[in-house]
Amino acid sequence: MAADRHQAGLKILEKLTTDAYQIQEQVLEDILNRNAGTEYLRGFLNGQCDKQHFKKNVPIVTYDDIEPYIHRIANGESSDILLAEPVTGFYRSTGTSGGQPKLIPSTAEKDKGALFQTLMGSVMNKHFGDLDKAGKSMQLLFTKPEIETPSGLLATTATTSIFKDSGFRNIVSMRYTSPIETIFCSDINQSMYCQLLVGLIQRDEVVSVGSIFASAMVRAIKFIEDHWEELCYNIKTGHLSSRISDSGCKNALSLIMKPNPDLADSIENICGCKSWEGIIRKLWPKAKYIGAVATGVMSQYTAALDFYSGGLPLVSSAYVCSEAMCGINLEPLSKPADVSYTFLSNMAYFEFLPVKKDCLTMFLDQVQFNSVARQESKEMMSSIEAIEPVDLVNVEPGQCYELVVTTSAGLYRYKVGDILMATGFYNNAPQFQFVERQNVILSIDAEKTSEVDLLRAVTKAKALLDPLGFLLTGYTSYADTSSTPGHYILFWELKMKESNDMKEPDPKIMVECCSSMEESLNYTYRMYRKENIIAPLELRVVKQGTFDALMDYYVSQGASMSQYKGPSCIKSKQAIKILDSRVMGKFFSVETQF
């Protein structure tokens, strides 16, 4: 039965990738036929709904452009101002607009999500065999309470809506170690504690471990480090700690827990070891892989997970956003840095806006940096924006693109905000590596540092600490412009590989880390430093647990634990306060030679 389902899944995959062009044309035709009469599209299409008209007249937009329509629907106007099919709710994406989560309309359509899951399952089955038959998955999954908009429509995260669906509820107890009540517990610490406890109790049945994004998996290991004695005590006695007050969790765990001193002893022996290298494989010896997205900004967690994994493959299986399900990884065993996602032609109408990043960098590197060059670079930027988008099947390997989607849920030529690089094709469907979010995260004067620039700089600098036994477990940044000239501040949380006791890092090396980061940042940054338009970069080392406190803060402010990605840059005063109150040492770059 399952084998047939997986075979059928692989066949569908062949069709979706082979007939990518025809399917994309059909997807667009269907969307336009259904929605050309909406207030939004009418204004651009004038009743005509062919592709040429669409491409010529419908503008490429960002969330801010369509926000007024979304707010009107959220405030009670009929959703047919934007799309013909009724809006049944909103997804709250992690992207923000003016500090608020973006609201993405959702409809009753479930087929695409179910098909996407089936296809991912078929690919995993091809590489790892029928793991559903072999045991359960310890997936750490979290939800967010729904928020009611004035129209009465509910807004929730895309992951919460999947877990609420009866399709998921029907299979959860067969496939996953976590009871549904622990996934829906609104206190993330109680939820994490209970999910790990049941994962440990069922450790011999666990055939895979994971979370949606790698950040939650790293947090889970740190959580076990802090609580393993208590977890073992619960396993030994069969009694749940009184810290768990959530009635759903208590009821669910009472059905699973019974005294098991032998199991508690084995886990105690593993966790009591000085080094936690390979702890995941030791705790879950039958696990075949760790499933957690570790590409893009999540790549900062790969070193920590490689250390803890004991050689288990780290699988990034899909590229999905609240706006659209986009692509799956057909080679789950490839290393995170080599992962490409194959786009599925039936999920949305995809367009790709070429990004001439390299061209711009070369340009800035070649010219003498002065105000004329600055002006020219601005003009060049605007000419880049005038470049036409290309269709899914026409992308060129090696080229970077900004993703633009048109969906059946009311997004028309909408920029998701992600930059992807085409790497090749599977049949006629292109494959992409995730490059970065199209957002400048740090900026002083005209200097703009992107998430990926910062990640590159941090990766290079932290290599200086590797031989000394330090692991970087979290970082973030902010542009401090309270004094002139302003400067960038990086917060790093470190941990010793071989022990839980934290050694003071050598100040000389930390200063070298600062200089290394400065050397890796972009041309404009280096020029501004030379001219003292930007002051020396500062590195603040924070106490262990700081990034957990930061995650707690963001979750308390409405972020979803499942979709939490750890901000590469912080603007909230409260969040900066949390970091600043835990600083152990401050270091500045001094002798950077540009």
Residues at the interface with ligand AMP (CB under 6 A): 93-95, 158, 293, 295-296, 298, 316, 319-322, 416, 418, 434, 437, 563
Q: In sequence order, what are the residues at sequence separation of 6 or more whose Cβ sits closer than 8 angstroms to the Cβ of residue 493?
A: 472, 473, 474, 475, 541, 542, 543, 544, 546, 547
> How near is the Cβ of 565 to ligand AMP at its closest, in Å?
6
Q: Could you give phi then psi for residue 507, rounded to 5 degrees?
A: -55, -35
C-beta of 418 vs 453, nearer to ligand AMP: 418
C-beta of 316 vs 524, nearer to ligand AMP: 316
Q: For residues 542 and 550, is the Cβ–Cβ distance under 8 A?
A: no
Nearest to 251 by CA among 153, 317, 177, 185: 185
Paired strand residues for 137: 176, 208
C-beta of 140 vs 320, nearer to ligand AMP: 320
> How near is the Cβ of 234 to ligand AMP at its closest, in Å?
33
Q: Which two tokens stand for residue 285?
A: 């010896």
Rounded to the nearest 10 degrees, the angle between the axes of helix 302-309 and helix 214-237 is 40
C-beta of 295 vs 345, nearer to ligand AMP: 295
> How near is the Cβ of 103 to ligand AMP at its closest, in Å?
11
C-beta of 195 vs 295, nearer to ligand AMP: 295
> How near is the Cβ of 211 to ligand AMP at its closest, in Å?
13
C-beta of 313 vs 485, nearer to ligand AMP: 313
Distance CA 61, CA 284 (A): 46
> How near is the Cβ of 184 to ligand AMP at its closest, in Å?
19
> How near is the Cβ of 548 to ligand AMP at its closest, in Å?
20
> How near is the Cβ of 294 to ligand AMP at its closest, in Å?
8
- Pairing mode, if any, of strands 318-321 and 440-444? unpaired
Rounded to the nearest 10 degrees, the angle between the axes of helix 357-366 and helix 523-530 is 30
> How near is the Cβ of 26 to ligand AMP at its closest, in Å?
25
C-beta of 409 vs 535, nearer to ligand AMP: 409
Paired strand residues for 211: 140
C-beta of 295 vs 520, nearer to ligand AMP: 295
Distance CA 543, CA 582 (A): 6
* Element spanning 206, H or E: strand 206-213
Name the CA dihedral angle for 31, 37, 38, 43, rounded to a multiple of 10 degrees: 110
C-beta of 266 vs 340, nearer to ligand AMP: 340
Would you put residue 560 in left (φ > 0), alpha (ψ -120 to 50) or beta?
A: beta
Q: How many CB atoms are closer than 10 A to CB 401?
A: 23
> How near is the Cβ of 556 to ligand AMP at its closest, in Å?
17
> How near is the Cβ of 322 to ligand AMP at its closest, in Å?
4
Q: For residues 384 and 438, is the Cβ–Cβ distance under 8 A?
A: no
Closest CB to ligand AMP: residue number: 296
Q: Which two tokens stand for residue 1?
A: 């039965």
Q: In sequence order, what are the residues at sequence separation of 6 or more whose Cβ sits closer than 8 angstroms to the Cβ of residue 591?
A: 515
C-beta of 198 vs 455, nearer to ligand AMP: 455
C-beta of 106 vs 125, nearer to ligand AMP: 106
Nearest to 158 by CA among 212, 201, 79: 212
C-beta of 293 vs 569, nearer to ligand AMP: 293
Distance CA 142, CA 172 (A): 13
> How near is the Cβ of 321 to ligand AMP at its closest, in Å?
4
> How near is the Cβ of 67 to ligand AMP at its closest, in Å?
15
> How near is the Cβ of 316 to ligand AMP at its closest, in Å?
5
Q: Which two tokens stand for residue 52?
A: 């040429």
The 8-class DSSP code of residue 62 comes to -
Q: In sequence order, what are the residues at sequence separation of 6 or more whose Cβ sits closer than 8 angstroms to the Cβ of residue 128?
A: 208, 288, 289, 332
C-beta of 83 vs 298, nearer to ligand AMP: 298
Distance CA 156, CA 144 (A): 7
Q: For residues 473 and 458, is the Cβ–Cβ distance under 8 A?
A: no
Return the beta strands (E) in 536-582 as ranges: 538-542
Sheet holding 290-293, edge to edge: 136-140, 206-213, 290-293, 314-315
Report how far Cα 40 is from the mean position of its chain's Cα atoms. Answer: 31
> How near is the Cβ of 185 to ligand AMP at its closest, in Å?
21
> How near is the Cβ of 406 to ligand AMP at its closest, in Å?
16
C-beta of 160 vs 589, nearer to ligand AMP: 160
C-beta of 9 vs 296, nearer to ligand AMP: 296
Sheet holding 100-106, edge to edge: 100-106, 89-97, 154-156, 147-148
